[in-house]
Amino acid sequence: MKTRILSAIVMIAVFIPLLVIGGKPFAIFMTLLALVGLYEILHIRESRKEFPLMMKIFAYLMVVFFSMTNFKSIEFLYNVDYRVMAFIIFAFLAPMVFINDTKKYNLNDSLFLIGSVLFIGMSFNLLIITRNYDLSYILYLLLITTITDTFALFTGMLVGKHKLCPEISPKKTVEGLLGGTFMGVIVATAFYLTVINSHVSLVLLILVTAALSLVGQLGDLVFSIIKRYYGKKDFSNLIPGHGGILDRFDSIIFVALAFILFLGII
């Protein structure tokens, strides 16, 4: 527990100042985290089969490109040139022909790389754009995930009796989900009304915040499925007591992806 707390203090001490500063320093930091996240998801996959070195290098380059796209923009827009998308798909699929060895590189490998690059790159880019748009918005999202995760843990420990998804995450309970969602909604809604917009419909805001809280918990479970599928407890041991970057960013990644769907509503 002490190791976990110390790691959390270090993470906060590094992350919060960069979050407040924003701009290029925050974008570069988040891109570095995206690269680590890509490494973790590729590494966990390579426990079964390695990717060709050149394909991995290209994947890292593409994640940098995605993460830094429009990183200076103050508008909440995400635009990707379809020519770039077509190039990425072609660049990961075409090598199958030239390598001409399905044991080294096959369709499953190429689709996994395409999906990983798009998923990681777009997710971290959305976090960068959200920060550029307004610091208060990313604080709102972080409050949802942090409060939800914290109170889901404590509620589950104190009164949790009914398992939520025992085959995926044995420790999660229905009571934890409800307690985490309730407190996440209360705190994040109060922050939104106080700091961002006091004139928004309270009912609508509660519904959106609850949806984002549930999506964050869904993200946690999805990443747990990935780890369980590959027989791993954590994505890496980069952060003592916490696992890897994807172990810490699993909820916020899903919340960031979902938030853009609700941005025009609240």
Average pLDDT over residues 149-166: 91
- pTM summary value: 0.91
pLDDT tens, 182-200?
Answer: 999 999 999 999 999 999 9
| pLDDT at site 87 | 85
pLDDT tens, 76-118?
Answer: 665 666 777 888 899 999 999 999 899 999 999 999 999 999 9
3-state SS track over the chain: CHHHHHHHHHHHHHHHHHHHHCHHHHHHHHHHHHHHHHHHHHHHHCCCCCCCHHHHHHHHHHHHHHHHCCCCCCCCCCCCCHHHHHHHHHHHHCHHHHHCCCCCCCHHHHHHHHHHHHHHHHHHHHHHHHHHHCHHHHHHHHHHHHHHHHHHHHHHHHHCCCEEECCCEEEEEHHHHHHHHHHHHHHHHHHHHHHHCCCCCHHHHHHHHHHHHHHHHHHHHHHHHHHHHCCCCCCCCCECCCECHHHHHHHHHHHHHHHHHHCCCC
